[in-house]
Every structure is written in C-alpha cells, then in structure tokens.
Amino acid sequence: MTETTNLHIAVIGGGPGGYAAAFLAADLGMKVTLIDPELNPGGVCLYRGCIPSKALLHVAKLITESRDAKNLGVEFSEPKLDLPRLRSWKEGVIKKLTGGLGQLSKQRKIEYIQGKAAFENSTILRISRADGSGDSISFDRIIIATGSRPAIIPSLRLDSPRMMDSTSALDLNDVPSSLLVIGGGYIGLELGTVYAALGSKVSVVEMLPGLLPGADRDLVLPLHKRMEKIFASILLNTTVASVKEETNGIRVTFEGPEVKEREKVFDKALVSVGRKPNYEIPGLDETKVKVDQRGFIQVNKQLQTTDPSIYAIGDVVGEPMLAHKASHEGRTAVEAIAGHKVAFEPNSIPAVVFTDPEIAWCGLTETQAQRENREVKVARFPWVASGRALTLDRTEGLTKLLLDPQTERVLGVAIVGAGAGELIAEGVLAIEMGALAQDIALTIHPHPTLSETIMQSAEVFFGTSTDLYRPKPAP
Ligand SMILES: Cc1cc2nc3c(=O)[nH]c(=O)nc-3n(C[C@H](O)[C@H](O)[C@H](O)COP(=O)(O)OP(=O)(O)OC[C@H]3O[C@@H](n4cnc5c(N)ncnc54)[C@H](O)[C@@H]3O)c2cc1C
C-alpha cells in the first residue's frame, strides 16, 4: 500500500460519510484534511438528524409507555416537562458524540478545519476558515461529502418562527398547542410522534393516499392505526395550497377530494417534504464533476465522479439518504483511492422508521417486487402469536420474509413492531450471506424474544410453525 501513504486527501463535509472516509484514510496511512463548518465532525446526522431525533423519541417512548402502563395495572401521574433540562440533555448527547469524534480525529492526526471549501479546480480547494482566514490547498484526491438539507416547496415558504423544518423542530423551543406536520414521510412522522407525546395536538397532511409512501402497506397499517390514536388527524390525498401567518397562528388552506375543513389555524407547522442534495459547492463547475437532474452528483461503483481525482459519497450522491449508507460509501471510496479492488454493491441497505411501532425493512420489498413483476413467496408471522410481544402488550407487529420461490433464498425482510429497528440487522446479515429460509428456520433463536419472529416466519414458509397453524405448501 506504499503508493497511497503519500496521498493527501481532502474530505469536504464531516457527516457520517465524511468522517468515516477521513478516519479510514488516516488509518490507511494517508494525510487527511477534513473540512466542515461545525466545531467538530458530526454533520446533519449528529447535529440535526439521527441523534437528536432519537434522543427525543426516547423521551416520547418513556412518556407513552408510562401512560400505557395503566392498561397493565400500574398508574403513573401525568409527566411534568422541564423543557430547558430536556433540551440540555439532548444537546449533551450531541456534544458527547461530536466531541468524541473530534478526539478520534485528533488521535488520527487528521487536520480538521472548521470552515467551508470551494473548488478552484479538480485538485485545489479554496478554504474559508471560521476564524475569517482562508487559503488554497492542493490535494491528490478530494472526497465530496456535503450531504443534504430540507427541501422547501415555494408555496410553503414563510419566514416565521411558527413555520419549522426538521432542524428548528429539533431545537424544541416550545411545545405548540397544535402542530401541522406537512409530509407523511419518516422525518415528519418521527417528529410528530415526539411533539404528540410532549402534548401537542398533531395533525399530519400527506398528498399521497398513504403514510410513508414507498413502504409496504401491511407494515404501515399497524402504525397508521396507532397514529390515529395519538394524532388529532391524518389527512391523506390532501395538499397544502397556502400558508399565511396570523396573530394566533398559521392559517393553512387544504386541497383534495377528501378535504372536509378547507382552512384551519395551527399554532405551528413543520414542513418535512423531503431533502435536497448539497451539490452547489462553489467552483464545482471548474471541475469535470457531473450532477444529474435531481441534483445528485454522478458516481460509479467506486464512488468516483466523472472527474478522476474527485469522489463523492452520502446524501449528495443519491437515495437512500441514510447515515449508514453514507459511511459505507465513505469506506468504499477510500479503499478505491487506496487501490483496493472494491465496489459499493450492497445486497441490502436497511431502512428504519423510528416511530411507535417502528418499521424496518431490508432487501427486496413487496412493493418493489410487485412493481418489477417479480415472483416471490411471502411468509408472515403476526406478533399476536409471539409470547414476547404479549408480555410487552405490543401484539400489533408483523414480521415477514420475501423468498425466492425456486431457491428459497431470503430476498427481503420487513418488520413492523416495537424494536423493529434493532431486529432488522439479522435480516440484513441473512441477505448479505445469501441465507436460505431453512438457515433461518434452523437457527435457534432465544426465547422469549421478538427476534424469534424472524425464525417463526421461516417456519411459516415451511408450514412447520408450532405457534401458528398454516397448511404446508403443496409439494
Ligand atoms: C431529522 C432527521 C432524522 C434523521 N434520522 C436518521 C436516522 O435515524 N438514520 C439514518 O440513517 N439517517 C437519518 N437521517 C439522515 C442522515 O442524517 C443523513 O443521511 C446523513 O447525515 C448523511 O450523511 P452525509 O455524510 O452524506 O452528510 P451530512 O450528515 O449531511 O453532512 C454533510 C456536512 O457537510 C457540510 N458541508 C456542506 N457543504 C460544505 C462545504 N462547501 N464545505 C465544508 N463543509 C460543507 C455540512 O455543513 C454538513 O456538516 C436523518 C435526517 C434528519 C434530517
């Protein structure tokens, strides 16, 4: 690997893609400069995404479970919120993690520059430091990891503290009496769950016929049912035509075939209608990097752009815009730069919606199989037959396997239910290892756990489940 040790690499952006790339490059002996506007690495995921949202969702879970405990014979009084303390706890989590990354960066002798990078050409970056100084530095390779930002629809653009995006919603400045979540995707539903638990009357509006467009409907159903209980309303097939600030809130006008109330005033609104890649790096047009129509930087399987000295990873190169995809791409890009024979070709990238219940899937989905006219066998295990789910009083879940009818290979795994996000890793491993239904059925899972439902789904496939009666498939 001698040829790579002399390379000087720049990584633009310190998110999960950028810091993973920078750390591995340093571990492989390269000289690394990591540039990001924040004091420490972390990116959207740690400062304004995955971590703060999950910290708040944990609080939401505590509140909901303490309320639900009544059904089990334990009654708690209503929780009292101490918002400043809650905020500082969440900030503390972020600080610990980002501070830790700062330490790890120093230990690896990475030059971390707090600032912004612009291209002068394919190998020279103009760096504007946070302290006002700036310089131009030449690099052998540059990795773009500039991530994404919340998308804004022009008709919803309103400069008002009552109008939030995911970043300001995570600041948790107050708990609005009523909150309209515009967009029924995972970010809107996760944040809506937090605010509903904290006491807001939350409504969700989605222009498509179902929440979480793209996810299998049988997974969304239990979530939808529970959300109907915790949310004030769920408006489907409905668009927001206009928003206007008034003294007591935001007046929202709805349009759509099912609209009953055309106008309504909400204390606050949260716009969560997707994310846009940050491809507009100054000077990028001085390089040979190409950007597609949606704003994603074009890369090959080694994450190399159309400019041979520039690589790009993470949200800025495409869907799924998820932290774990970004960091794996970061590792692949660095290994490719190091001359290793690598390609980013995962068989499955897991997706998790951290609502209550959680939804998680990996590999082929039923929706995708139908769209591609692909023949699959689906084996479902309903959690109503799971001992562990009963002990948790959470039997609404479902685990399913998508199997190749000829080879019986696991093509997809999907779960809705408490803790689905933790359970899905077994499915990812099964798909990556090319497991067959029999491998899963023969793997002894601990009892009583929710993980058993994955094994039990495989038993359903063979008609051998002892917890359910399903006739054996015809020979
Ligand atoms: C509310 C919310 C919740 C989320 N929850 C999850 C989750 O649970 N799980 C999950 O996997 N994903 C989640 N995501 C998505 C996840 O945050 C992103 O997929 C991930 O952060 C992408 O990583 P990245 O490295 O591509 O870029 P980012 O994390 O976006 O980092 C890019 C960095 O580059 C910096 N930058 C941009 N331009 C420049 C420049 N010119 N010079 C220097 N620096 C620059 C940015 O300031 C930023 O710090 C969530 C996102 C949001 C908004």
Confidence at 29, pLDDT banded by 50, 70, 90: very high
- The confidence score (pLDDT) of residue 469 equals 78
Among 44, 51, 93, 286, residue to substitute to test ligand 1 (most atoms within 8 Å of Cβ): 44
Name the CA dihedral angle for 460, 464, 468, 472, rounded to a multiple of 10 degrees: 70
**Tokens read off for 147:** 């991530």
Q: Cα(first)–Cα(last) distance of the chain, in Å?
A: 55
Residue partners of 59: CB distance under 8 A and separation at least 6 = 86, 194, 197, 198
Count of Cβ atoms closer than 10 Å to residue 259 Cβ = 16
The alpha carbon of 177 and the centre of ligand 1 are apart by a number of angstroms equal to: 30
The alpha carbon of 274 and the centre of ligand 1 are apart by a number of angstroms equal to: 13
Q: Which atom of ligand 1 is nearest to the CA of 19?
A: 25
Q: Is 43 in the pocket of ligand 1 (CB under 6 A)?
A: yes
Among 23, 35, 45, 195, residue to substitute to test ligand 1 (most atoms within 8 Å of Cβ): 45
Residue partners of 351: CB distance under 8 A and separation at least 6 = 320, 322, 360, 361, 362
Q: Is 181 in the pocket of ligand 1 (CB under 6 A)?
A: no
For residues 35-41, average pLDDT = 98
d(CA 366, CA 425): 19
Confidence at 473, pLDDT banded by 50, 70, 90: low
Q: Is 189 in the pocket of ligand 1 (CB under 6 A)?
A: no
Find the DSSP H helices in 199-322: 217-230
Q: Which one of 3.50.50.60, 3.40.50.2300, 3.20.20.70, 3.30.230.30 gives the CATH number of domain 154-273?
A: 3.50.50.60
Q: Is 37 in the pocket of ligand 1 (CB under 6 A)?
A: yes
Q: Which one of 3.50.50.60, 3.40.50.150, 3.20.20.120, 1.10.3720.10 gives the CATH number of domain 4-149+276-337?
A: 3.50.50.60
- pLDDT tens digits for range 321-363: 999 999 999 999 999 999 999 999 999 999 999 999 999 999 9
Q: Which residues pair with 245 in a beta bridge?
A: 250
- The confidence score (pLDDT) of residue 2 equals 44
The alpha carbon of 238 and the centre of ligand 1 are apart by a number of angstroms equal to: 29
d(CA 30, CA 140): 10
| Top-level class of domain 351-462 | alpha beta
- CA-closest residue to ligand 1 atom 33: 13
The alpha carbon of 317 and the centre of ligand 1 are apart by a number of angstroms equal to: 12
Confidence at 264, pLDDT banded by 50, 70, 90: very high
- The confidence score (pLDDT) of residue 1 equals 45
Chain mean pLDDT for the chain = 96
The alpha carbon of 315 and the centre of ligand 1 are apart by a number of angstroms equal to: 7
- The confidence score (pLDDT) of residue 453 equals 98
Same fold across 4-149+276-337 and 351-462: no
Looking up tokens 């491998």 gives: 439
- CA-closest residue to ligand 1 atom 51: 49
Measured N-to-C along each axis, helices 323-337 and 16-27 cross at an angle, to the nearest 10 degrees, of: 30
115 pLDDT higher than 90: yes
Q: Is 169 in the pocket of ligand 1 (CB under 6 A)?
A: no
Q: Is 355 in the pocket of ligand 1 (CB under 6 A)?
A: no
Q: Is 15 in the pocket of ligand 1 (CB under 6 A)?
A: yes
- pLDDT tens digits for range 153-205: 888 889 999 999 999 999 999 999 999 999 999 999 999 999 999 999 999 99
Distances (CA, A) of 391 to 36, 182, 361, 388, 467: 47, 36, 24, 5, 15
- The confidence score (pLDDT) of residue 258 equals 87
Q: Which atom of ligand 1 is nearest to the CA of 20?
A: 25
Q: Is 41 in the pocket of ligand 1 (CB under 6 A)?
A: no
**Tokens read off for 154:** 């022009």
Confidence at 468, pLDDT banded by 50, 70, 90: confident
Confidence at 383, pLDDT banded by 50, 70, 90: very high
Confidence at 5, pLDDT banded by 50, 70, 90: low
For residues 209-234, average pLDDT = 97
471 pLDDT higher than 90: no
Confidence at 472, pLDDT banded by 50, 70, 90: low
Q: Which of 319, 326, 313, 419 is nearest to 50 (CA)?
A: 326
For residues 35-57, average pLDDT = 98
Q: Which atom of ligand 1 is nearest to the CA of 18?
A: 25
What is the domain partition of the chain in residue ranges?
Answer: 4-149+276-337, 154-273, 351-462
Confidence at 6, pLDDT banded by 50, 70, 90: confident
The alpha carbon of 15 and the centre of ligand 1 are apart by a number of angstroms equal to: 5
447 is catalytic: yes
- pLDDT tens digits for range 434-457: 999 999 999 999 999 999 999 999
At 60, is the secondary structure helix, strand, or coil? helix
Q: Is 13 in the pocket of ligand 1 (CB under 6 A)?
A: yes
Q: Which residues pair with 415 in a beta bridge?
A: 360, 399
Q: Which residues pair with 234 in a beta bridge?
A: 204
For residues 260-269, average pLDDT = 97
